């Protein structure tokens, strides 16, 4: 990025955190004409929250974050605008509540990236004649095998390529990710070099509209009818206890079950229609495969069957798997080794070494023993098995 054309216009999504602030500073230093944008989403903290919750950093939504972003823009002497995305963000919270009400585990960060950060903000970039859109995500966009590809961030502990799988491939040549080749420590050092007051600002670790991590509270506010008493059962259907609503549970959950079984037990199934929550030992969590829907690929048309490293949630260690495209937007994933807590509603993302092939939304687990055998001779051999 050292040969950047002077005054090439770029819109930077500035959240008020250290990552997006440094991204804006680096691009400004490199000669871009930077325009800072802050998304007002209306997800302000609950004033009735406990002090320890109220004191926590909430992410990219609060008035304090807006003030931090505006201050950094002032230091750079760049235009800064706060855009009202409250209605759009409200639909994301509705999606979050609906997924839990339907026994699924949502991922609002993926949806926000697709719909807002690389959707609505891209529209704004078009409106102001900006060639590029930049964010403070820990990921990279690089040429690989003749294609522009999304790649993991250098800092493996901060890598955010998983939550970017849903962006449109056509956007790749317009997106700048200035900090993707840095560690968090390096980003904070740049912040000190630029004299930013947010250099030591804590990372946001919560969903911004659920700062207390009480997801059920948000669902109850939006979908109160989803909270009806039901049974907690084992794999054989034996009733072990009662619950007050399936939205309080997610696949793989261990805490908060209210059942003394003598051994650790986990949520292994959720049926909102019968209001049954199934629990079992950790061994019952493992699945051989899954069906994904609404697939999005960030490479030229992939083979019908290919090998990949697969992540089924943000903190999941990528596992070897065979991926079969069963239709234009549906895939079947068969793991080399069974994986725990395959949660419908979460994203499944496919990697070729460090590069994102694409991803989908988990519809349900599946067992290859119940499916037709995969054609082994059609498995692509050019993908890495790192």
CATH no. for 9-193: 3.40.50.620
User: ∠ CA(121), CA(181), CA(296), 5° rounding?
Assistant: 50
pLDDT digits (tens, 9 = 90+) for 47-92: 444 444 444 444 556 788 999 999 999 999 999 999 999 999 999 9
What pTM was computed for the model?
0.89
Residue with the larger pLDDT of the pair 386 and 165: 165
User: According to the model, what pLDDT value does residue 380 have?
Assistant: 33
Q: Which two tokens stand for residue 228?
A: 């009806």
Residue 36: name the closest of 87, 8, 85, 76 by CA: 76
**Please, are residues 209 and 93 in contact by the beta-carbon 8 Å criterion?**
yes
Q: Judge: domain 228-280, CATH 1.20.120.
A: no
Q: Mind giving me the DSSP string for 51-97?
A: HHHHTS---S-SHHHHHHHHHHHHHHT--EEEEE-HHHHHHHHHHHH
What's the average model confidence in pLDDT over 1-6? 50
pLDDT digits (tens, 9 = 90+) for 184-197: 999 999 999 999 99
Q: Which fold has domain 286-378?
A: Elongation Factor Tu (Ef-tu); domain 3 (2.40.30)
Residue 185: CB partners within 8 Å, gap ≥ 6? none
User: According to the model, what pLDDT value does residue 258 have?
Assistant: 82
Q: What is the rounded distance in angstroms from the CA atom of residue 50 to the CA atom of residue 46?
A: 9
Q: What is the rounded distance in angstroms from the CA atom of residue 22 to the CA atom of residue 24?
A: 5
What's the average model confidence in pLDDT over 272-288? 96
In the predicted structure, residue 1 carries a pLDDT above the cut 50:
no
Where does the pLDDT of residue 27 fall: very low under 50, low under 70, confident under 90, or very high at 90 and above?
A: very high
Q: What is the rounded distance in angstroms from the CA atom of residue 149 to the CA atom of residue 299?
A: 7
Place of tokens 């490199």: 30
Q: Assess whether 208 carries a catalytic annotation.
A: yes
- Active-site choice (25, 60, 61, 208): 208
What's the average model confidence in pLDDT over 8-14? 97
In the predicted structure, residue 376 carries a pLDDT above the cut 80:
no
Q: What is the rounded distance in angstroms from the CA atom of residue 352 to the CA atom of residue 382?
A: 9
Residue 231: name the closest of 210, 246, 221, 216 by CA: 246
pLDDT digits (tens, 9 = 90+) for 172-223: 999 999 999 999 999 999 999 999 999 999 887 668 888 788 999 999 999 9
Burial 19-54 (b: 16+ CB within 10 A, else e): bbbbbbbbbbebebbbbbbbbebebebeeeeeeebe
Q: List strand residue ranges (DSSP E) for the chain, in order.
A: 9-13, 33-40, 80-84, 132-134, 139-144, 147-152, 175-176, 230-233, 239-243, 266-271, 276-280, 286-297, 305-311, 319-325, 330-340, 347-352, 355-366
User: According to the model, what pLDDT value does residue 44 have?
Assistant: 55
CB atoms within 10 A of CB 143: 8
Q: Mind giving me the DSSP string for 186-214?
A: HHHHHHHHTT-TTTTPPPP-S-TT-TT--
Place of tokens 């037709």: 372
Q: What is the rounded distance in angstroms from the CA atom of residue 220 to the CA atom of residue 226?
A: 7
pLDDT digits (tens, 9 = 90+) for 102-125: 999 999 999 999 999 999 999 999
- Active-site choice (25, 60, 109, 112): 112
Q: What sign does the dihedral 21-27-31-35 (CA atoms) show? A: negative
Residues of the chain with CATH 3.40.50.620: 9-193
Place of tokens 């040429």: 143
What's the average model confidence in pLDDT over 267-273? 96
Give the bridge partners for 267, in sequence order. Answer: 279
Query: Residue 141: left if φ>0, alpha if ψ -120 to 50, beta else—which one?
Result: beta
**Please, are residues 169 and 114 in contact by the beta-carbon 8 Å criterion?**
no
Residue with the larger pLDDT of the pair 59 and 246: 246
Residues of the chain with CATH 2.40.30.10: 286-378
Where does the pLDDT of residue 371 fall: very low under 50, low under 70, confident under 90, or very high at 90 and above?
A: low
Where does the pLDDT of residue 262 fall: very low under 50, low under 70, confident under 90, or very high at 90 and above?
A: confident
In the predicted structure, residue 361 carries a pLDDT above the cut 50:
yes
Q: How far apart are the first and last CA of the chain?
A: 28
**Please, are residues 269 and 256 in contact by the beta-carbon 8 Å criterion?**
no
pLDDT digits (tens, 9 = 90+) for 299-325: 987 899 999 999 999 999 999 999 999
Residue 276: CB partners within 8 Å, gap ≥ 6? 230, 231, 232, 233, 269, 270
Residues of the chain with CATH 2.30.30: 228-280
């Amino acid at each position: 990025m050292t040969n950047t054309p002077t005054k090439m216009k770029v819109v930077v999504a500035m959240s008020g955190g250290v990552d997006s602030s440094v991204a804006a500073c680096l691009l400004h230093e490199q000669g871009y004409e930077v325009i800072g944008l802050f998304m007002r989403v209306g997800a302000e903290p609950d004033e009735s929250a406990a002090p320890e919750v109220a004191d926590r950093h909430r992410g990219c939504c609060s008035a304090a974050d807006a003030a931090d972003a505006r201050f950094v823009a002032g230091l750079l002497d760049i235009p800064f605008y706060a855009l009202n995305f409250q209605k759009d963000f409200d639909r994301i919270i509705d999606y979050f509540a609906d997924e839990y009400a339907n026994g699924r585990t949502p991922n609002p960060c993926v949806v926000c990236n697709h719909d807002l950060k690389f959707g609505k903000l891209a529209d704004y970039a078009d409106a102001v004649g900006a060639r590029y859109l930049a964010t403070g995500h820990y990921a990279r966009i690089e040429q690989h095998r003749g294609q522009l590809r999304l790649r993991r961030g250098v800092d493996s502990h901060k890598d955010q390529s998983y939550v970017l799988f849903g962006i449109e491939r056509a956007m790749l040549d317009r997106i700048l990710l200035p900090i993707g080749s840095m560690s968090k420590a390096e980003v904070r050092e740049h912040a000190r070099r630029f004299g930013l007051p947010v250099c030591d600002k804590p990372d946001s670790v919560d969903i911004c509209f659920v700062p207390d991590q009480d997801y059920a509270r948000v669902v109850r506010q939006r979908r109160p009818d989803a909270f009806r008493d039901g049974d907690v059962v084992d794999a054989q259907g034996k009733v072990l206890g009662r619950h007050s609503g399936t939205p309080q549970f997610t696949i793989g959950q261990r805490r908060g079950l209210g059942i003394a079984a003598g051994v650790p037990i986990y949520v292994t199934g959720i049926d909102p229609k019968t209001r049954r929550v199934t629990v079992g030992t950790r061994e019952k969590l493992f699945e051989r495969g899954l069906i994904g829907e609404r697939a999005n690929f960030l490479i030229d048309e992939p083979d019908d069957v290919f090998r990949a490293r697969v992540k089924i949630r943000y903190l999941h260690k990528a596992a070897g798997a065979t991926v079969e495209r069963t239709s234009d937007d549906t895939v079947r994933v068969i793991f080399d080794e069974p994986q725990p807590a395959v949660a419908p509603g979460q994203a499944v993302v496919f990697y070729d070494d460090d590069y994102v092939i694409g991803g989908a939304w988990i519809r349900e687990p599946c067992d290859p023993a119940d499916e037709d055998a995969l054609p082994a001779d059609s498995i692509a051999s050019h993908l890495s098995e790192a």
